Structure 1
């Protein structure tokens, strides 16, 4: 604290006493406010008449205000009550007439803090720190969202091409689009061309096989003359072309009566049986058997021609030659299908809601003497040989065929010691497998179905 005394000469003792009292009073004020102050006391040298004048006091406050009430000074003098604090830079004076402390803005503050600024400051100070923190957080989130949206838009834009570029590409694609009919026409021209190599023809046949799975495409292929080209491939000296041609033919014949009729009219059945009767690789005969089965399925007219052209004899020779069981299984499956569909068509005669064509189908199936041909060609003793296979699927198909043939072959079954021994042996084997299925908790019970087939066949034989 700095005390400045009056420079007037000949100061009276009363002035000295007044100065001491003022010093003590200021120390008391400083201790009450709990703050460090720098006070300047100036005597009024201009006043007269012995009256007590105002003394101007300048107070510089630190930030150590604690919980004191802070007074916001204005440009006018305000009276300070005990316990109030003032901001740093404010002017504080002691009114010697009233004994009250008064405060106003300092000179520098007065230059800046007009009433307009003070109102703005009050508005700003009304915002709490928590609100300010939330506002800053919101700004950051908005910035992050805007950044992510921009990145996402850039990422999406990078995945798509400009509209004009797409229009140009689509215009070019329109020139290259071909219908299935146009494709088949082009492929048949290439297949019939003498300049096409074997590899090219195989590729063409593969594309045709994919197309003829559709019923309309297969019929269109026949109307274009493609069926004749496929049959010519069966007579090729290259077994690869024979295999591919038989594959296309079988796919075109599947569930397509129109193509079945045209194939029989073009002599396809005789050509297929000829390939089976000649020496060919197994892979070729597999595809040819597929074509034969597709031609005979649900087509009694073709089945009758198959039997009349020695089809069962060709199959029996093929069955005996096959040691691996692949061709045997296909043959037995085909025979089982022929027997089953004939039985179904006769049993369906009890249904009064059948269409008008039923009588004609019944008449045609009656002309197919399949069971008698099976007995005559020795199939009652051939099919049991498939039980020798170690493949469960082969055995299952053999058992189903044996059950279907039982009405015709029952006497042959009873005298066939190999068949009887095989049934007993297989039942014991599959019964153990059934127990294993139950222990493991398997739900398909495949082996249990095989046991049921064996039991049903044994009951018929007894």
Structure 2
């Protein structure tokens, strides 16, 4: 006892001794456990080999060229022929009873589920990975060829000789199309063909109407309108105004107005051909509304920026014809167009007189001022009663009609101011409209809308009201 106590000199030595024994015991237990597991696996594998022909057996299928010899080779091949061979992949797959695996596959036992699993072997995985890598490398090497080819195409496109080689001269294209029974026509050729068809005795009214519609589209171009006149087409259009068919009158007036719009050459030829008299006659006689609308369009196109024609229009009683048309119109469509026409004529004269050009330096401007001074429009407006006619347009419920009427009234104010002040109905209409549009403007401002259409109309009303109240 003494020797034992003297050997264990302190509690720390005792603790070290106990610890070493525990570690030794743990190592021994772990070692025994590993031996036990290895023994179980060995026994299981022997059971699999011994019972390989049972329903739950695992069969390895060899390649055809690796067929084994021996006395039992034929029997094994006949048994393996009826087995289902699974095709392994990179992922683990569960083997079902009766399934066989190819040689080189990796098979393991899942200790958690107790089932066998298979996947490709290491050599097979390595082979597949190498092939995939080679495919990517070959694809990456082919990519730089595409930009090179694109740059080559760009250089070829920028080459003038290459561009010229892709296109053919117009004459060559015409010859090729002629061989294909195709016809390429210029606008002038089309105009000639349409006029010939219109003048043909075999053409029906419907065909002539379609021809006029095509002409109206073409004459919007200044050159085409002048070419039409040089071909004698203007007389054809004027003859259509004298037609007994209202549809031909309407289409002819439409073509004439489109040809004269902003085209002084056609305006001069139309006046020389007697177009103004024909148009005034069409307005003075009984015509459908749609015909008179197109005729008014042609009259406005003929008068715009053409003081000579305006003077002729006044001397031929044009304002009288318009006043009768204004009184007869109940819908307001023709009234609005007439008021706009008067506004344009007055504004042109005021604008040309207020232009700050030096007459000594601009002889053309001086000549135009002289021409407009010969147009006695103000006296005609006062004499024909327009100072009381235009205010009637304010009764309309259409905002556009009211706007056109207010613009015309402001332009006529220097001539008609005394008549405006003596017209109590005009003053009442202005006050009523002022309140109405004031409310509309306030409603739009609440919604966040400023400088609206109603604001412009309200400003016109205020401007006219100021003129009437000014001394």
TM-score bracket for the superposition, by shorter chain length: 0.5 to 0.7
Aligned residue for 1:182? 189
C-alpha deviation, 1:170, in angstroms: 5.2
Aligned residue for 2:444? 437
CA deviation vs aligned residue, 1:171-218 (integer Å, no higher than 9, x gap):
656731111111111111111122211111101100000000000000
SS in 2 for 1:127: helix
After superposing on structure 2, the runs of 4+ consecutive aligned residues of structure 1 that deviate more than 4 Å are: 30-39, 123-126, 132-139, 166-174, 350-355
CA deviation vs aligned residue, 1:371-415 (integer Å, no higher than 9, x gap):
111111110010000001110000000001000000000000000
Aligned residue for 1:14? none
Are 1:425 and 2:449 matched, yes or no? Answer: no
Change (3 A) 1:330 1:126: closer
Picking from 282, 288, 299, the partner of 2:306 is: 299
Alignment coverage as a number of residue pairs:
333
Aligned residue for 2:3? none
Listed as ranges, the gaps of 5+ residues in structure 1 are 1-27, 40-59, 63-122, 143-165
CA separation in 1, counterparts of 2:327 and 2:436? 26
CA separation in 1, counterparts of 2:229 and 2:364? 25
SS in 2 for 1:200: helix
Aligned residue for 2:126? 127
Picking from 208, 223, 234, the partner of 1:227 is: 234
Change (3 A) 1:187 1:424: same
Change (3 A) 1:288 1:134: same
Q: Which has the higher helix share?
A: 2
CA deviation vs aligned residue, 1:397-454 (integer Å, no higher than 9, x gap):
0001000000000000000111111000111111111111112223451111111111
CA separation in 2, counterparts of 1:247 and 1:128? 84
CA separation in 1, counterparts of 2:424 and 2:45? 131
Are 1:339 and 2:338 matched, yes or no? Answer: no
CA deviation vs aligned residue, 1:95-126 (integer Å, no higher than 9, x gap):
xxxxxxxxxxxxxxxxxxxxxxxxxxxx9679
CA separation in 2, counterparts of 1:284 and 1:178? 32
Change (3 A) 1:197 1:339: same
Aligned residue for 1:446? 453
SS in 1 for 2:220: coil
Are 1:324 and 2:297 matched, yes or no? Answer: no
CA separation in 2, counterparts of 1:33 and 1:352? 124
Contact 2:357/2:365 (CA < 8 Å) preserved in 1?
no
Aligned residue for 2:398? 391
Are 1:377 and 2:384 matched, yes or no? Answer: yes
Aligned residue for 2:107? none
Change (3 A) 1:345 1:279: same
CA separation in 2, counterparts of 1:427 and 1:34? 106
CA deviation vs aligned residue, 1:338-375 (integer Å, no higher than 9, x gap):
11111111111446897441111111111111111111
Aligned residue for 1:192? 199
CA separation in 2, counterparts of 1:247 and 1:230? 10
Q: What is the root-mean-square deviation in Å for CA atoms of aligned residues?
A: 3.6
CA separation in 2, counterparts of 1:37 and 1:451? 104
SS in 2 for 1:213: coil
CA separation in 2, counterparts of 1:252 and 1:411? 40
Picking from 299, 312, 323, the partner of 2:319 is: 312
Picking from 236, 240, 248, the partner of 1:241 is: 248
CA separation in 2, counterparts of 1:168 and 1:184? 22
Alignment of 1:2-17 (within 5 A): none
Aligned residue for 2:416? 409
CA separation in 2, counterparts of 1:173 and 1:414? 75
CA separation in 1, counterparts of 2:363 and 2:181? 47
